[in-house]
Structure 1
């Protein structure tokens, strides 16, 4: 019996037009009434997720910043958080790869993204995603707790930067490829899968009673802790290898249809 459902957003629950099918919000309300916990698991911030799901009346949970924070939608109660220490942030900012690869860097708090000397391309992306953005003159101006550091590479993530980070990234941190142009850096041990395990432990839910949906490499840890693991049909073939099942594409409401059929029996 399914008791916990976690879904990634971009490329999974969110269609390519940037929208979530209106039926999803009602579906989440139905799940709540049936005591099935629905979790939006994303690299997005808490404030973004809260805005994305403002049409949901029932309770649900948000895994933000790839697992760095877990919060409830109502009143924003926090279940877990893992902020990056100041010295570890500085160690990332001192890495040479960002300059060499032409990467834009952003620092993410629970509500905003901080950027310095960023390209117009990244600024436009943040605007389209409705990311609250603060432009700063110096990274020393950032006083908020930071949960994620992101590289945006306009020419795409390549093996050179992966190899560089594997060799040079502070051992207190780890990175994940969250999109074809994105690398996210969090504290070591932080992942969507670890966040799901925290929720499973709190509510005494087993792996066998957990369903998870994803489309990219930062979703693989979710597949490990959910027996009912679904890669989207639009996911890379390598990602599909780690999931037990394949759902229809994000544009064909794969998450919605799979939940209706296999979790609710409709």
Structure 2
């Protein structure tokens, strides 16, 4: 393969870079070394949190760009070059609507941890893989870190039970359905 014209390689994590066991193949690291030899920038992008991506790619984290939280945070080595948190007053708007939706479990995503207002067993099982560093909270007012994403989990269907209540916020936020159970909010 001729890599002389390639400058950048970007990949998603789940279903692309990670295998079905949520692991990076050892074969990838050989390819990564070839990319480095050709001065090709490697970017891993995901809806996963930054700390979760670093956990998966710890041996190369300082030699790549990590785009986490669906584009809300981008870091190269120790340098943050994109930080797009939701403003506290806008977060309050989201929380006000979330509180009116039954069986909806919010996850507030920050750079270093996720804050969860639920003890839903299906949600807590998912957190073990995607948001290992999480804290159960009673109220979002205790969150002092910048929130990059609010992920809403519904055990049956976010499209059917959550989206109709939050679509009014689409003019001010990126509101995206993700798989069957998730709906996410990001700053525009």
TM-score when normalising by structure 2: 0.88
Mapped contact 1:111–1:132 kept (Cα < 8 A): yes
- Judged with a 3 Å threshold, the aligned counterparts in structure 2 of structure 1 residues 90 and 140 are, in CA distance, closer, same or farther, namely same
- Judged with a 3 Å threshold, the aligned counterparts in structure 2 of structure 1 residues 129 and 163 are, in CA distance, closer, same or farther, namely closer
Name the residue aligned to 2:65. Answer: 61
- Judged with a 3 Å threshold, the aligned counterparts in structure 2 of structure 1 residues 123 and 71 are, in CA distance, closer, same or farther, namely same
Is it true that 1:28 corresponds to 2:32 in the alignment? Answer: yes
SS in 2 for 1:92: helix
Q: CA deviation at 1:170?
A: 6.2
- Distance, in Å, in 2 between the alignment partners of 1:179 and 1:26 is 32
Name the residue aligned to 2:6. Answer: 2
Alignment of 1:82-231 (within 5 A): 82-96=84-98, 99-100=101-102, 102-129=103-130, 131-159=132-160, 161-166=162-167, 168-169=168-169, 171-188=171-188
- Distance, in Å, in 2 between the alignment partners of 1:58 and 1:33 is 15
Mapped contact 1:68–1:147 kept (Cα < 8 A): yes
- Judged with a 3 Å threshold, the aligned counterparts in structure 2 of structure 1 residues 77 and 120 are, in CA distance, closer, same or farther, namely same
* Equivalent residue for 1:70, pick from 60, 70, 74: 74
State how many pairs are aligned. Answer: 184
- Judged with a 3 Å threshold, the aligned counterparts in structure 2 of structure 1 residues 89 and 133 are, in CA distance, closer, same or farther, namely same
Mapped contact 2:49–2:131 kept (Cα < 8 A): no
**Per-residue CA shift, 1:215-255, capped at 9, x if unaligned?**
xxxxxxxxxxxxxxxxxxxxxxxxxxxxxxxxxxxxxxxxx
Greater share of strand: 2
**Per-residue CA shift, 1:18-77, capped at 9, x if unaligned?**
2221111232222122111111000111111111101227611001111111101x3x21
**Runs of 4+ that moved beyond 4 A:** none
Higher relative contact order (CA 8 A, sep 6+): 1
Name the residue aligned to 2:22. Answer: 18
Mapped contact 2:115–2:135 kept (Cα < 8 A): yes
Structure 1, unaligned stretches of length 5 or more? 189-266
Root-mean-square deviation (Å):
2.0
Greater share of helix: 1
